[in-house]
Copies of this chain bind each other. A is one copy, B any other.
């Protein structure tokens, strides 16, 4: 499986009065991790969604996280993201946050998403579609891609 990897600096903006990352930021980064992964596989979502007016993306159906150790303002963390499982139209992305040489991730999470199109008649309605076979192949190639900006 392709692993998308990105470095993240824990900014003042991410921290709460306890001085640690306010938890929803991890969910924001998981979202970015999934986008990085799709992009690492060669699928330019930003362009596709502009060109294919019905393509809606891969909305989230469920997500979860476990927080093992807090990260503090000024820390650097590395996020790795990879597909854990393909369903028919759904797919599960696994995310891990690492710090330095610690062999255990400081936080882990996963997202369940569906590949979806807008209904041609009723654009607000999402129609789940079979996950593209070509993209599945590209995501299944082994390798690590650095996707830091």
Contacts and interface: CB of A to CB of B under 8 A. Distances in A.
This protein's copies in its complex: 4
Interface in A64-93: 64-67, 70, 72-74, 76
Chain A: interface residue count, which band? Answer: 35 or more
Contact of A74 (B28, B47, B64): B47
Contacts of A136: none
A76 B149 contact: yes
B66 A61 contact: yes
Given A62-B64, A124-B72, A11 B23 contact: no
Given A60-B67, A64-B64, A65-B62, A31 B23 contact: yes
A18 B57 contact: yes
